Amino acid sequence: MANLKEIRNRITSVSSTMQITSAMKMVSAAKLKKAQDAITAMRPYAEKLTELLQNLSATLEGEVGGDYTTQREVKKVLIVAITSNRGLCGAFNSNVIKEVKTISDRFQGAQVDIFAIGKKGHDSLKKTHNVQGHHNAIFDNLTFDNVAGIAEDLTQKFTSGEYDRIEVVYNQFKNAATQIIRAEQFLPLAPIKSDKPVATGDYIFEPSKEEIVLTLIPKSLKTQLYKSIRDSFASEHGARMTAMHKATDNATELRNQLKLTYNKARQAAITNEILEIVGGAEALKG
C-alpha cells in the first residue's frame, strides 16, 4: 500500500484534473448552444433550396447540370475530411479518419487525394495519404463567405478535370451525445430523385428553367459544404462536452476511491502506532 504522502499527492492531482475537465465541459456547453442554433436555423433553408432544385430539374427534359453532372471514369478522387483543430472530444476525429480510409480502400486502382479541413485530420492523414491541401483556420471565422471560397475551389478542381469525383466526410449533428458519420458525394451531382410529387402549374420563368437550375447548382454546392462544416462544428462541441462530462465523472470516482484508500492507510498507521505504544508500555512493566 502506498504511503500517505503519495496518496495525498494523487488526490490533489486528480482534483486538479477534475476542475479542468469540468471547466472544459462548461465552455463546450456554452459554445454548443450557439453552434446548435446556427445549424438548426440553416437546415430548413438548405432543404428548401434542394427541394426547389429538385422540382425545377424534374420538369426539364434531358440531363441538365452542365459540367457539374459530368460522369467520368474515376481515376482521381478527392476526399474532403472535416475534423477539428483540437482534441479531447472522444472518437469525433478518429471516426472521420477511419471513414476516409474506408472510402480510400473502396477506390482501388484510382489515385486518392485528401483535402483536410481541421488540424487533427490533416496531422493524422498526412502520414498515410497524399494530402493535397488543408484549411485549418476556417473555424476561427466560420461564415458562409469563407466556406464559399473553399467550395468554389473544389468545384473548379472537378470542372477542370483535375478530379473525377469529390467526396465529403464529416460528423452530422444529432444531439449533444450523438454524432452520425456521413460520407456524401459532392461532385459530380448525383441524379436528383424525390418521392415527393412535383409541383406543376402554368408558370412563366424568367430567365429560363435551365438558367435557373445552372444558377442554383453552384449556390447549392456552397450551401451543402457550409452545412457540412456547420454540422461538424456543432458535433465537435457536443462530443467534447460529453467526453469532458465522462472524464469529470471518472475523476470524481477515482478521487473518492483514493480518499477511501487514504483513510484506510491512515487508520492502519494509527493502529500500528497504538500497538507500538501498548507494546512499549507492556515491556516497561515487565
Q: Which residues are catalytic?
A: 89
* Sequential DSSP letters for the chain: ---HHHHHHHHHHHHHHHHHHHHHHHHHHHHHHHHHHHHHHHHHHHHHHHHHHHHHHHTSSS---GGGG------EEEEEEE--S---STTHHHHHHHHHHHHHHHSTTSEEEEEEESHHHHHHHTTTSEEEEE--GGGGG--HHHHHHHHHHHHHHHHTTS-SEEEEEEEEEEETTEEEEEEEEEESPPPP--SSPPP------SS-HHHHHHHHHHHHHHHHHHHHHHHHHHHHHHHHHHHHHHHHHHHHHHHHHHHHHHHHHHHHHHHHHHHHHHHHHHHHH-
